[in-house]
Amino acid sequence: MNNDSYLTFQLNQLRYGIPATTVQEIFFLPEVTAIADTPPGVLGVINLRGELIPVIGLYQHLGQPHLPLSLSDSMIVLQCQTQRIGMIVNQVDAVQAISPQQIQASLSHQLINNSQHDWVMGIATLESEIITLLNPEKLVQYYEVEKVLDQRAITKNGAVRNGLKHNSELISEPGLYTHFSFQEQQILRERTAALLAAIAEQDAADLMPLAVVGLGGEYFGFDLETVHEFTQIHRVTPVPCCPPHIVGNINLRGEIVTLINLNNVIDLPTTGARVNPQAVVVGLDQRVVGIAVDDIFDVMYIHPSQITAVPIAMHSDRDDYLQGVVPYQDRMMSIINLSKLLTSDVLVVNEEA
């Protein structure tokens, strides 16, 4: 796994990638506050824990028709040096390792149009898939982030000044949210309020990144420090004489990785066959395994002080592998102690009959 990692996403059913090292956060679409006289493609700003982040729409310069915004859309926050931008995408797919040999850097005008040329750093071919890799530095330069964030036009908390519209007024902005129902607008406002919530006196280095996944109808958090990548499960080779939670082996670009069903380990109901089976590949020291999941929802950052003990009402056999719980959406999310899981005997494969 020495290849470069890229976060892949979809826009109008086409796949794109961005260097994973530039990705700071991923969350579902919140409200966006419009600003007058911004460069084309800049939809406005969001207030992310006290910092104003310009939000861009990629459709125009990627040669895509502009689709209406949807609650299922996601926002990816990128950072290049000291500048940050948010970009709206239809779907976040996975973090994928791509080798330089899989990337065509010399681009043909038949593959991309002139407006895309400066933005694209290469075209990656993975089996039957083509992924357009974007250059985050060019995105930041093109959208003139410093100009968008002219503090003469914006107050510290994003309130109205010189043409800036407050979030509560943006719902009526033509073409952005007018097709949303009242309930959908309320969800947007709740998401925006969550982004505004700042943790007092905290340093970004103290934050803990979590991948939010779905298992057995519940939310679970995986510490991103131990997550190598997300991947689709195409073929599983059964391993004889193994406990039920050992699903089998998968071939990850030539590396054989054991796939486990965490439902059996943490006392969750076992679901039927997954329509689009996915796995989170995690590792500690020399041990690497894949964990089959129902869904991959989000990437979020929390402060360790937000983690609370597992409520007594939730105590079960799963406690051995739970680090604690944190609020997520309108529910509580359990954090899996992946370090403990990866060093436990539960992953031992006994191949003796």
The model's confidence at residue 216, banded by pLDDT at 50, 70 and 90, is confident
The model's confidence at residue 17, banded by pLDDT at 50, 70 and 90, is very high
CATH class of 205-347: mainly beta
The larger pLDDT score, comparing residue 329 to residue 155, is at: 329
Which secondary structure element, helix H or strand E, spans residue 93, and what is its range?
strand 91-98
pLDDT recorded at residue 143: 63
User: Mean pLDDT across the stretch 130-139?
Assistant: 89
Maximum average pLDDT range among 127-136, 175-184, 190-199, 261-270? 127-136
d(CA 209, CA 253): 26
Those residues whose C-beta lies under 8 Å from the C-beta of residue 348, and which sit 6 or more positions away, are none
User: Mean pLDDT across the stretch 272-278?
Assistant: 70
Instruction: Using the predicted structure, report yes or no on whether residue 198 has a pLDDT greater than 60.
Output: no
pLDDT recorded at residue 145: 59
The model's confidence at residue 348, banded by pLDDT at 50, 70 and 90, is low
Q: Which CATH number fits domain 4-196: 1.10.1740.10, 2.40.50.180, 3.40.640.10, 1.10.3710.10?
A: 2.40.50.180
Q: 86-117, pLDDT tens digit by residue?
A: 999 998 887 777 888 888 875 544 444 555 55
Q: 136-178, pLDDT tens digit by residue?
A: 888 877 766 555 555 434 444 444 343 334 444 444 344 577 8
Which regions of the chain carry the CATH code 2.40.50.180?
Answer: 4-196, 205-347
d(CA 316, CA 214): 19
Q: What does 287-334 look like in DSSP terms, one character per residue? A: EEEEEEESEEEEEEEE-GGG-BPPPGGG-SGGGGGEEEEEEETTEEEE
Q: Which of 31, 81, 80, 91 is nearest to 55 (CA)?
A: 31
